[in-house]
Structure 1
Amino acid sequence: MDSARPTPGLHEALAYLDSLRAGDLAPQADVPEDDEDASYDTLDALVDQQDAKPTLRPSPDEALTAIAIMRLCHAAESAGPDLLCPRPGLLSLLFVSSHEDRNRVARRHPDLWRRLSLPFPALMIEDPLGRVGAAKDFHARLAGRLLSGNGVLAIVSGMAQLPPELETLVTARATLPPITRRMLALILEYLHPGHDVDLPISENQLGKLAPVALAPVLAAETLDTALTQLRRLEDVARSPNGGPGLDDVYGQPEAVDALRQVVSDLDAWRAGTLPWREVTKSFLLTGPPGTGKTMLAEALARSAGITLVKTSYSDVQKAGHQGDALKALNAAAEQAKTGSPSVFFIDEIDSFYNRNQSSNGYILGMVNGLLTLIDALSATEGVVLVAATNDRARVDPAIVRPGRFDRHIRVGRPIRSGITAMLSAAVADVIPGPDLDRVSEQLVGLSGAEVTALLREARTAARKAGRDLALEDLQAAADRVQPQLGDALMRRIALHEAAHVVAGHAVGLPAATLARISPRGGEVVRPHLNAMTARDIKGMIAAVLAGREAEDIFFGDVTSGAGAGSNSDLAQATSLGIRAECAFAFGPSLSWISPDTPPTLLPTEVRNRVEARLQAGQEEARKIIVQHRGAVERIAAALLEHRELDGAALAGLLDGVEVQADGAVQHVGGHDA
Structure 2
Amino acid sequence: MSIEVATPRDLLARAYLDMLAAEAGTNSSPLLRSGDPDDPIERLIDDLWTAPESAERTSIRADLAAAAILVARAIERSDGLTRDLRRECPVISLATHGAEVVSPVRRVLTTCAFGNDAKVLDDRAFDGAHYTRPVLLLARDGTSNEHRPEKGNAIISEALHARAPIFGLAPDPRRHLPRDLLRAAEHHLSLGQLDASAIALVIEAVTGRSPSTVPDEQLARAVDISDLTLSVRADRNADDCIKLLEKIVSTKSFFDHRGPRLEELAGYGAAREWGLNLVADLREYRAGRLDWECLEKGLLLAGPPGVGKTQFARALAKSADVPLVASSVADWNAATYLSGTLAAIKECFSRARQLAPCILFIDELDGISDRATLTTEYKEYWTQIVNLLLELLAGIEERPGVIVIGATNHPDHIDAAVKRAGRLDRTIEIELPNSENLAAIFRFHLGQDVLPAVNLMPAALAAAGRTGADVEAWVRRAKSRARRAIREIALDDVLHEIRSGREGMPEILRRACSVHEGGHLVVGIALAVFEPQALTILDHGATTRVELSRANSQTRAGIENYMVALLSGRAAEEMILGTSQATAGSGVGDNSDFSRATQAAIDMELRFGFGVIGVAHFSERTTEMLLHDPSIVALITKRLDRCLTRARELVSANRAAVEAVAKRLEEVGYLDRIAIGDLLKAHPVRTVESPDRSGGATGFE
TM tier, shorter chain?
Answer: 0.5 to 0.7
TM-score by length of 1: 0.58
The partner residue of 1:347 within 347, 364, 367 is: 364
The aligned residue for residue 393 of structure 1 is 412
Does residue 354 of structure 2 align to residue 330 of structure 1?
no
The aligned residue for residue 390 of structure 2 is 375
Residue type of the alignment partner of 1:657: D
Distance 1:409 1:463, change over 3 A: same
> Are the counterparts in 1 of residues 363 and 406 from structure 2 also a CA contact under 8 Å?
yes
The partner residue of 2:447 within 423, 427, 430 is: 427
Give SS of 1:345's match.
strand
Give SS of 2:431's match.
coil
Q: Deviations over 1:461-520 (max 9, x none)?
A: 2123221223342344456689568366468679999999xxxx99xxxxx9x9996737
The aligned residue for residue 303 of structure 2 is 287
Distance 1:233 1:494, change over 3 A: farther
Name the stretch that deviates more: 444-453 or 133-142. Answer: 133-142
> Are the counterparts in 2 of residues 204 and 270 from structure 1 also a CA contact under 8 Å?
no
> Are the counterparts in 2 of residues 83 and 94 from structure 1 also a CA contact under 8 Å?
no
> Are the counterparts in 1 of residues 302 and 408 from structure 2 also a CA contact under 8 Å?
yes
The aligned residue for residue 109 of structure 1 is 109
Distance 1:17 1:388, change over 3 A: closer
Structure 2 unaligned runs (5+)?
A: 22-28, 31-35, 42-55, 116-132, 548-552, 572-584, 601-617, 626-635, 641-645, 651-656, 676-689, 697-701
The aligned residue for residue 474 of structure 1 is 494
User: How far apart, CA to CA, are the structure 2 residues paired with 1:283 and 1:396?
Assistant: 14
User: How far apart, CA to CA, are the structure 1 residues paired with 2:11 and 2:287?
Assistant: 23
Does residue 30 of structure 2 align to residue 10 of structure 1?
no
Distance 1:395 1:483, change over 3 A: farther
> Are the counterparts in 2 of residues 127 and 135 from structure 1 also a CA contact under 8 Å?
no
The aligned residue for residue 176 of structure 1 is 191
The aligned residue for residue 252 of structure 2 is 237
User: How far apart, CA to CA, are the structure 1 residues paired with 2:382 and 2:523?
Assistant: 40
Report the alpha carbon displacement of residue 405 of structure 1 after superposing the two structures with TM: 1.8
User: How far apart, CA to CA, are the structure 2 residues paired with 1:215 and 1:154?
Assistant: 25
Q: Deviations over 1:376-401 (max 9, x none)?
A: 44248798755433332343423332
Name the stretch that deviates more: 444-453 or 232-241. Answer: 232-241
How many residue pairs align between the two structures?
Answer: 537
Q: 5 Å matches for 1:140-539?
A: 155-158=169-172, 175-188=190-203, 197-199=212-214, 201-220=215-234, 221-237=236-252, 244=259, 250-252=266-268, 255=271, 282-296=298-312, 308-312=326-330, 326=338, 329-330=341-342, 332-333=344-345, 336=348, 343=360, 345-347=362-364, 349=366, 352=369, 355=372, 358=373, 360-362=375-377, 364-365=379-380, 367-378=382-393, 379=395, 386-414=405-433, 416-417=436-437, 419-433=439-453, 435-436=455-456, 439-440=459-460, 443=463, 445-478=465-498, 483=504, 486=510, 489=513, 519=538
Distance 1:126 1:237, change over 3 A: same
Distance 1:245 1:185, change over 3 A: farther
Q: Deviations over 1:101-124 (max 9, x none)?
A: 333333212556479xxx999765
Q: State the identity as a percent.
A: 21
Q: Deviations over 1:410-466 (max 9, x none)?
A: 222235346415523533212115524664466454311111122123113212322
The partner residue of 1:57 within 53, 56, 59 is: 59
> Are the counterparts in 2 of residues 444 and 643 from structure 1 also a CA contact under 8 Å?
no
Give SS of 2:300's match.
strand
Give SS of 1:361's match.
coil
User: How far apart, CA to CA, are the structure 2 residues paired with 1:330 and 1:261?
Assistant: 33
> Are the counterparts in 2 of residues 181 and 203 from structure 1 also a CA contact under 8 Å?
yes
The partner residue of 1:641 within 668, 671, 687 is: 671
Structure 1 unaligned runs (5+)?
A: 29-53, 507-511, 527-537, 574-604, 613-617, 646-654, 664-673
Q: Deviations over 1:232-274 (max 9, x none)?
A: 3144336788985766865336546766898999999999999
Distance 1:390 1:63, change over 3 A: closer
Does residue 151 of structure 2 align to residue 137 of structure 1?
yes
Give SS of 1:432's match.
coil
Distance 1:348 1:496, change over 3 A: farther
TM-score by length of 2: 0.56
Distance 1:164 1:335, change over 3 A: closer
> Are the counterparts in 1 of residues 360 and 404 from structure 2 also a CA contact under 8 Å?
yes
The aligned residue for residue 51 of structure 1 is none
User: How far apart, CA to CA, are the structure 1 residues paired with 2:404 and 2:670?
Assistant: 40
Does residue 37 of structure 2 align to residue 24 of structure 1?
yes
More relative contact order, 1 or 2 (CA 8 Å, 6+ apart):
1
Report the alpha carbon displacement of residue 180 of structure 1 after superposing the two structures with TM: 1.4
> Are the counterparts in 2 of residues 419 and 443 from structure 1 also a CA contact under 8 Å?
no
Q: Which has the larger Rg?
A: 2
Distance 1:191 1:312, change over 3 A: closer
Residue type of the alignment partner of 2:238: L
> Are the counterparts in 2 of residues 269 and 275 from structure 1 also a CA contact under 8 Å?
yes
Residue type of the alignment partner of 2:348: A
Report the alpha carbon displacement of residue 290 of structure 1 after superposing the two structures with TM: 2.3
RMSD: 6.5
User: How far apart, CA to CA, are the structure 2 residues paired with 1:260 and 1:448?
Assistant: 20
Distance 1:144 1:374, change over 3 A: farther
Distance 1:111 1:461, change over 3 A: same
Q: Deviations over 1:323-379 (max 9, x none)?
A: x88567436535636866695634160783572xx5743465565344223124424
